[in-house]
Amino acid sequence: MPEIKNDKKRRPLKNLPPERFQPPKFWFVWLSIVMVVVVMLFFQRTATQNVARLKIQAVVDYADGVGPVKVKEGVIRPDPSGGRDWVAITGELTGEIPAGPEKDAGTTKLFRAEGRLTDANLERLQKSEKFSERQPSTWMNGLSQIIPFILLIALVYFLFIRQLRNAGRGAMSFGKSRAKLLTRDRDKITFADVAGCDEAKEEVSEVVEFLKDPKKFTRMGGKIPKGILMVGPPGTGKTLLAKAVAGEAEVPFFSISGSDFVEMFVGVGASRVRDMFEQGRKNAPCLIFIDEIDAVGRQRGAGLGGGNDEREQTLNSLLVEMDGFDTTEGVIIIAATNRPDVLDSALLRPGRFDRQIHVDLPDIVGREQILRVHARKISLSDDVDLGVIARGTPGLSGADLANLLNEGALLAARRNKKRVEMIDIDDARDKVLFGRERRRVMDDAEKKLVAWHEAGHAIIQAVLDDGTVPVHKVTIIPRGQSLGSTTYIPTKDILTRPKKKLLDQVCMAMGGRIAEKLVTGDLSNGAYGDIKHATKIARAMVCDYGMSDLGPIALGQDQDTVFLGRDITRSQHVSEATAQRIDDAVSEIITGQYARGEKIITEKREALDKVAQALIEHETIEGKHVMEILKHGEIKSPVINAPAPARVAGKPAENKPADRPATDGFGGSTAPAPNPA
């Protein structure tokens, strides 16, 4: 894979949206409150200060001391609107205004008089030395009258009109794209943060080089793929890899889910698709990532019930838009799904999604690399070997491995440790794969029955194993839905399974039932999970793998749901005679391996008893202890187990987890690996 170097001198981004000033939240609320207070104070002052309307002659008399009221001070303002010698006199009085037609209200001390002022009256007012003359200030008077109305109009605007305008914008933006823009300065992820998918990184590295130097490809006549479809199981890092492409290329990254296009109203999704591509063109070069594209790209008109108008119109718009732009514009589409079989064929043709990149579950080397990436933020002890953890977690995705380390860190914190030790990771793995320990109160008879059951699985697996899938741990402590489990960890990634290994799995699954019958002489329902697992393997050998006398013929039927498939009806693939032969072949495989396992346990009866007694005594033993019993007849190495919580018969355990109710099965459910029995 070509090395992608982080060059410090990056070309500047073009057409990035400028940062807009964001006003403080609820600023219009505070402004409205201030306006309301100002208006209320103005009207309160006007209402409380009642002004008495007097005649000019009465004011002159009061100024000369005639009457019980005296003038404290006053102002004479010529009123231009009243013509020549027309004035307005305002001021304040001392004393009570006598009752009369000139008195307007209350005992106010403020007065106002308007009228024609003669020269004689003006001389009398000037002699009192309590009046002053001022020129009219029309703009101040007008402003004092207009300000309250301006404040009131502004209040109405901010409280009502602005809200209605914003509501209108929300309605108009209903068809806008909901894609989130992540720039290079925010949540930057590079290829160094992605591990376990080297082949996928090598393919998407071409996109990075194209976004950095488009002419390198165009001058050779080549065209970069318009769309890249990432396919793989959940948790394998498809979204993370898409973000890493944008981080390495340092271009804007638009992220949206396929479900964001589909709405109740027909045409909204198509509008959002057009708006998304328009935003992409404005911010080119950029990446547009559509997660879970099967939500909008599902095959049209398939399955029971026909199609969906809104989803199909959205898909049609997406197909047209992908045909309507060229990669020279610098816009590249990356989509992710874990169901490529349900996508419309028009979406997968060349010219739209030209390339499919499979992001599969990591192998043992990839798992170790993923663990090292996630272990950067965790304080690990020196005894933690990530290589051993990677070997013991086949079938786990990157998300599962991250969860494994996180559970180990939480478990170490609950145990008041300063570092995460290997035993914490081992216990976290059992918790993630099989569930948390549930210390149930079992009487001696049930405890012995579970011990014999698990000992039967362990003995057969230890005898049949050729060193590739050794027994890892045997326990009679309930986990998840099982009352006990036998786990085995392969020493390498198993990609193919020969017929001999499949038969060994069927034989090992029968070990618990064989041990129960041999020791107690009776049968229980504890082996129902083992029987289902063995039957599934045997039927697959006959119908799918061609490992029977029926020959290499695919006899299995299509089991896809009619809501997702292409055909609504089901056709009979095999005749009744062939179906009978299939049942006979499956029965022959199971009965044959049952007899094989019965022979092994009968020969190793002494070892079976010792393994069961060790389980009754210690509750959990390791695979090496089973091998020591088979070779030496006893356990040589010490058995080290975590102390169990104190239990009192009839009372629940402390910190009992809220797991699913236990079933009547002894064996654990089948997991990718390590596999319980």
Q: Give the CATH number for residue 371.
A: 1.10.8.60
Per-residue pLDDT reduced to its tens digit, 623-652: 889 999 998 888 888 877 644 443 333 333
Residue 396 pLDDT level (bands cut at 50, 70, 90) = confident
Q: Angle, to 10 degrees, between the axis of helix 576-603 and the axis of helix 499-509?
A: 70
**Do residue 474 and residue 596 come from a single domain?**
yes
Is 90 exceeded by the pLDDT of residue 513? yes
Amino acid at 278: E
Identity of residue 100: G
Is 189:243 a contact under the CB 8 Å cutoff? Answer: yes
- The confidence score (pLDDT) of residue 419 equals 92
Query: What's the pLDDT at 162?
Result: 59
The SS3 of residue 71 is strand
Q: Contacts from 24-32 at CB under 8 Å and sequence distance 24+?
A: 28/158, 28/159, 28/162, 31/158, 32/155, 32/158, 32/159
Same domain? 511 vs 479: yes
Same domain, 404 and 444: no
Mean pLDDT of 458-484: 86
Of 324, 358, 392, the position where a domain reaches its end is 358
> Active site residue: 203, 250, 312, 454, which one?
454
**What's the whole-number mean pLDDT along residues 183-199?**
74
pLDDT at 17: 45
> Is the same domain home to 471 and 616?
yes
Three-state DSSP state, 128: helix
Query: Rounded CA gap, 486 and 430, in Å?
Result: 11
Instruction: Tell whether the model's pLDDT for residue 558 goes beyond 60.
Output: no
> How high is the pLDDT of residue 99?
56
Same domain, 338 and 423: no
Q: Cβ(384)–Cβ(661) under 8 Å?
A: no
**Least-confidence region, from 93-107, 198-212, 297-311:** 93-107
Whether 345 has a pLDDT exceeding 50, the answer reads yes
Taking a C-beta distance cutoff of 8 angstroms, is the pair 564, 536 a contact?
Answer: no
Q: What pLDDT is stored for residue 164 in this prediction?
A: 56
214 in the same domain as 353: yes
Tell me: pLDDT of 452 over 90. yes
The reported pLDDT for the residue numbered 40 is 65
Does residue 65 sit in the same domain as residue 193?
Answer: no
Predicted confidence (pLDDT) at residue 449 exceeds the cutoff of 80: yes
Average pLDDT along the chain: 75
Q: How far apart are CA 377 and CA 414, in angstroms?
A: 18
SS (HEC) of 503-564 = HHHHHHHCHHHHHHHHHHCCCCHHHHHHHHHHHHHHHHHHHCCCCCCCCCCCCCCCCCCCCC
Domain membership of residue 75 (yes or no) is yes
Average pLDDT (537-541) is 93
Q: What are the binding residues for ATP? A: 232-239
What is the distance of C-alpha 294 from the center of its chain? 18
8 A C-beta contact, residue 548 and residue 542: yes
Domain with 473 in it:
435-632
Q: Are residues 422 and 552 in the same domain?
A: no
Supply the CATH number for residue 602's domain: 1.20.58.760
Residue owning tokens 């207009």: 146
Question: Do 69 and 184 have their domain in common?
Answer: no
Q: Is residue 286 part of a domain?
A: yes
Annotation: binding site: 232-239, 453, 457, 530
- Total domains in the chain come to 4
**Does residue 431 or residue 45 have the better pLDDT?**
431
**Amino acid at the residue 123:** E
Residue 204 confidence (pLDDT): 82
The residue that leads in pLDDT, 326 or 519, is: 519
Distance CA 318, CA 177 (A): 13
d(CA 205, CA 195): 14
Element (H, E) at 308: none
d(CA 176, CA 254): 14
pLDDT for res 328: 53
Given 120, 136, 152, the domain boundary residue is 136
pLDDT band at 541 (very low <50, low <70, confident <90, very high): very high
User: What interhelical angle do 576-603 and 511-520 show, nearest 10?
Assistant: 60
Please say whether the beta carbons of 333 and 228 come within 8 A: yes
Residue from 500, 506, 669, 660 nearest 595 by CA: 506
The reply to whether 350 falls in a domain is yes
Read off the pLDDT band of 588 (50, 70, 90): very high
Numbered residues of the known binding site for Zn(2+): 453, 457, 530
Q: What is the pTM of this model?
A: 0.64
Strand pairing partners for 353? 227
What token pair was written down for 395?
């079938």
For residues 251 and 317, membership in a common domain is answered with yes
Collapsing DSSP to helix, strand or coil, 291 comes out as strand
Separation between Cα atoms, residue 180 and residue 254, nearest integer Å: 5
Q: Are 225 and 355 in contact, with CB atoms under 8 Å apart?
A: yes
Confidence check: pLDDT of 109 > 80: no
Nearest one of 674, 676, 677, 663 to 440, comparing CA atoms: 663
- Within 283-421, residue ranges assigned H as helices are 294-297, 309-323, 345-348, 364-374, 386-391, 398-414
Please give the Cα distance from 335 to 291 (Å, whole number).
6
Any bridge partners for residue 637, and if so which? none
For the segment 342-346, the average pLDDT, to the nearest whole number, is 84
Same domain, residue pair 351 and 428: no
Question: What is the per-residue pLDDT across 664-674, written as a single tens digit (0 to 9) for each?
Answer: 334 443 333 34
- Is 622 part of a structural domain of the chain? yes
Residue 30 included in any domain? no
- DSSP string over 611-665: HHHHHHHHSEEEHHHHHHHHHHSS--SPP--PPPPP--TTSPPTT---PPPP-S-
Q: Pick the last residue of a domain from 432, 456, 478.
A: 432
Residue 652: predicted pLDDT: 34
**Average of pLDDT values for 108-126?**
74
Is 133 assigned a catalytic role? no
- Tell whether the model's pLDDT for residue 407 goes beyond 80: yes
Q: Is residue 22 part of a domain?
A: no
Please indicate, yes or no, whether residues 469 and 534 belong to a single structural domain of this protein. Answer: yes
Q: How confident is the model at residue 169 (pLDDT cuts 50, 70, 90)?
A: very low
> In this structure, what CATH number is given to the domain that contains residue 350?
3.40.50.300
Which range is least confidently modeled, 123-127, 429-433, 480-484? 123-127
Has residue 102 been placed in a domain? Answer: yes
Residue 195 lies in a domain: yes
Higher pLDDT pick, 142 / 276 = 276
